[in-house]
Amino acid sequence: MGKPISGLKKRVDWFYTSPAWREARSFILQRDHYTCVLCGFIGNSESLQVDHILARKSNPELSLHPLNLRTLCRSCHARAETSFSRGPGYKAKKRTNVGPDGFPSDDWR
Ligand SMILES: [Zn+2]
């Protein structure tokens, strides 16, 4: 409420350079067999990205939790981010039943 959103656009994040994240990321890629969980695309650590199902900002304690991480290809990840910023779930991001991508996070339950 009336809070300035300065710094929100900044994409460079210490989190993604931390050893803990690199470790979690490679664990998730292996767990998901280097396959995008949405479209089935099979890639490698460069073509695939690890996505937070629940936003890190609202659920920082789940940042490295395997159940909150999933493997996505670049196009699914981009689509997920787009639907998050435009989708109906955007305003309701504090609700835990909506993932950061705006989709209901069924597999989270
Ligand atoms: Zn995909």
CATH code where residue 42 lies: 3.40.1800
Residue 89 vs residue 26, higher pLDDT? 26
The answer to the question of residue 12 being in a domain is no
Q: How far is the CA of 1 from the centre of ligand 1 (A)?
A: 36
Around ion ligand 1, which residues have CB less than 5 A away? Answer: 36, 38-39, 41, 73, 76
Residue 58 has pLDDT above 80, yes or no: yes
The answer to the question of residue 1 being in a domain is no
Q: How far is the CA of 102 from the centre of ligand 1 (A)?
A: 16
What pLDDT was estimated at residue 50?
97
CA distance 84 to 81: 5
Q: How far is the CA of 38 from the centre of ligand 1 (A)?
A: 5
Q: How far is the CA of 46 from the centre of ligand 1 (A)?
A: 14
Beta-carbon count within 10 A of 30 CB: 11
CA distance 23 to 87: 31
Residue 105 vs residue 15, higher pLDDT? 15
pLDDT category at 25 given cuts 50, 70, 90 is: very high
Q: How far is the CA of 10 from the centre of ligand 1 (A)?
A: 25
CA distance 96 to 54: 7
Beta-carbon count within 10 A of 54 CB: 22
pLDDT category at 93 given cuts 50, 70, 90 is: very low
The answer to the question of residue 97 being in a domain is no
Position of tokens 């949405």? 38
Arithmetic mean of pLDDT, 101-109: 53
CA distance 102 to 88: 7
The residue among 96, 94, 97, 98 whose CA lies nearest residue 83 is 98
The answer to the question of residue 24 being in a domain is yes
Residue 4 vs residue 43, higher pLDDT? 43
97 neighbors 104 (Cβ within 8 angstroms): yes
Arithmetic mean of pLDDT, 76-98: 59
Residue 57 has pLDDT above 50, yes or no: yes
Number of domains the chain contains: 1
Predicted TM-score (pTM) of the model is 0.65
Domain residue limits at 22:
17-83
